[in-house]
Amino acid sequence: IDIKNLRTATNGVITLDSGYKNTGSCESSITFLDGEKGILRYRGYDIEELAEKATFLEVAYALIFGDLPTKEQLEKFYADIKVQSVVDEDVKKIVDAFPKSAHPMGVLSSLTSALTAFNPSSVNVKSEEDMYKAICKIMGKFPVLVAWTMRKKQGLPLNYGSKSLDYVENIMKMMFEQPNEPYVVNPIIKDALDKLLILHADHEQNCSTSTVRIAGSSHVGLFASLSAGISALWGPLHGGANQAVLEMLEAIKADDGDTKKYMAKAKDKDDPFRLMGFGHRVYKNFDPRARIIKKAADDVLNDLGVNDPILAIAKGLEQEALNDPYFVERKLYPNVDFYSGIIYRAMDIPTDMFTVMFALGRLPGWIAQWREMRLNNEPIGRPRQIYVGETLRSFKSISER
C-alpha cells in the first residue's frame, strides 16, 4: 500500500470512526497498553514495577528519552531542570489577576500558555537541543505554576522550591509550605505522591495526549501544545473525573450513603448521571492503575490515621458494580480516578485541584509524545469528515428569509 498517497488521495473513500475508537493516529514506542489483559507498560517497563520501585523523575526520563536513566543522566537532567525552576516575576501579576473562584485548570492552562511570552526561545524549536531546553524549562516551571495556582486560591504567598530537595519533595514543599514554618517532608505522602504521578504519567493516545500531538503537529511550540492538552484533560469524561468522583461520593454520603439509589440512576438511560470513575475507553477487564491506587489509598489512610467514610462508600459502590449485570455486561470497572481523589483528600489537596495533580503527573507523557511526534516528522493532524448537511442552496436576502 502506498501509505503516503493514502494520506491525501481518498479516492472518495473515508473511514468514519466517531471518537476514533478503532483508528490509530500514529506509530509510537512510548506506552504499550492491552485493554483486554489489563497491561500497561512505559517503554517496556511494567507499570506495577515502576510504581513500586521508581521515582517520578526516573519515569519521566524514561518516557521522554526512551530508557531509565543512569545515575549520571538523572543527575544532569535534574540539575538542568533545577536551573529552570523559577518563572518570570511578572507571571505573579497574571496569577494575581485571576479571581479566587477561577477553576485551577483554567488558570493552569492560561499560565502554561503565558510561559511562551516569557520564553520566546522555546516557541520555535529547530533541533533536539532546542527540544531538550524547552523540556527542562517546562519540567522546572510547571510545578511552580501548579503550586502557585493552589496557593493563590488558598490565599498563601507565592513561593519557590529548594535546591536540596528531590523533584517530588520540591513539589510538596511548594504546594504545602505554610508561612513562617519550616517545611518537613512526610515520607508517606511523598511515597504516595510519587506513585500517583507515575501512574498518571502516560496513557498512549488518550484525549489530552492526542490534543497535545495534534496541536503540536502544526509546529506550535511545546508550551502552547501542553496548554491545549490541559484544557482537554479538564473535562469530566477525562481527567476531570477525579474531581467528579469525589463530588459524587460526597453527594452519596450526604444522601445517607444510599449507594443503591445512585447505582439505579447510573443504569437509567433517561438519567444523564453516570457513575464517575467507572468505565474506560480501552480497559475492558480492569484498569491496572486502579488496583495499585486502591491499595495505596488504604495504605495512606492507615499510615496517616485518617478514617474517611468516603473510602467505605467507594468500596461499597465498587462491590455493588462488580455484582451488577449492567456493569458486568458493559465491562465497567473502576478506573484510575476512582481512588486517586481519596488519596489527594487525605493529603489536604482541595477537590478542584485534583485534575491539576493529574496534569502534573501527565506532563512527562505529553512531553514524550510531543517529542516523538516532532522527531518522527509527523504531518499536520487533519481528520476528514462525512458531510451530512444541506446540498447547494442559493442565497436569500434577509428580507426573504
Task: Determine phi and psi for 334, rounding to 5 degrees.
Answer: -60, 140
Q: Pick out residues in 179-238 that bind ligand ACO (CB under 6 A).
A: 237-238
Please report, as a single letter, which amino acid is at residue 372.
Answer: E
* Burial class of residue 214 in the structure, from the number of CB atoms within 10 Å of its CB (0-12 exposed, 13-18 middle, 19+ buried): buried
Whole-number minimum distance, CB 238 to ligand ACO, in Å?
Answer: 4
C-alpha closest to that of 309 among 347, 252, 241: 252
Q: Which of 103, 141, 151, 280 is close enough to bind ligand ACO by CB under 6 A? A: 280
* Burial class of residue 337 in the structure, from the number of CB atoms within 10 Å of its CB (0-12 exposed, 13-18 middle, 19+ buried): buried
Only one of the segments 45-53, 77-85, 301-309, 332-340 lies at the binding site for ligand ACO (rule: CB under 6 A); that segment is 332-340
Q: Which of 221, 279, 341, 364 is close enough to bind ligand ACO by CB under 6 A? A: 279
Q: Which of 266, 292, 300, 360 is close enough to bind ligand ACO by CB under 6 A? A: 266
Catalytic residue of the set 194, 202, 337, 352: 337
Verify binding: residue 357, ligand ACO, rule CB under 6 A: no
Whole-number minimum distance, CB 382 to ligand ACO, in Å?
Answer: 23
Task: Determine phi and psi for 278, rounding to 5 degrees.
Answer: -115, 140
Compare residues 55 and 340 and give the one whose CB is closer to ligand ACO.
340
The answer to whether residue 203 is catalytic is no
In whole angstroms, give the CA distance from residue 70 to residue 305: 37
Q: Pick out residues in 142-181 that bind ligand ACO (CB under 6 A).
A: none
- HSE-CB at 123 with a 13 A cutoff on CA atoms is 9
Whole-number minimum distance, CB 197 to ligand ACO, in Å?
Answer: 14
Q: Which of 249, 275, 300, 313 is close enough to bind ligand ACO by CB under 6 A? A: 275
**What's the maximum distance between 2 C-alpha atoms anywhere in the chain?**
75
Q: Which of 274, 284, 291, 315 is close enough to bind ligand ACO by CB under 6 A? A: 274
Whole-number minimum distance, CB 96 to ligand ACO, in Å?
Answer: 32
Whole-number minimum distance, CB 194 to ligand ACO, in Å?
Answer: 18
Sequence-ordered list of residues with C-beta below 8 angstroms from that of 87, at least 6 positions apart, any chain: 115, 118, 141, 144, 145
In whole angstroms, give the CA distance from residue 95 to residue 100: 10
Verify binding: residue 82, ligand ACO, rule CB under 6 A: no
Write 159-168 long-range contacts (CB < 8 A, 24+).
Answer: 160/85, 160/86, 161/85, 163/82, 166/55, 166/57, 166/78, 167/55, 167/56, 167/57, 167/78, 167/81, 167/143, 168/55, 168/56, 168/57, 168/193, 168/194, 168/197
The answer to whether residue 337 is catalytic is yes
Catalytic residue of the set 200, 202, 280, 287: 280
Verify binding: residue 104, ligand ACO, rule CB under 6 A: no
Compare residues 61 and 354 and give the one whose CB is closer to ligand ACO.
354
Compare residues 95 and 193 and give the one whose CB is closer to ligand ACO.
193
Strands 39-42 and 45-46: antiparallel
Number of residues that bind ligand ACO (CB under 6 A): 18
Whole-number minimum distance, CB 255 to ligand ACO, in Å?
Answer: 17
Q: Which residues bind ligand ACO (CB under 6 A)?
A: 237-239, 241, 266, 274-281, 330, 332, 335-337
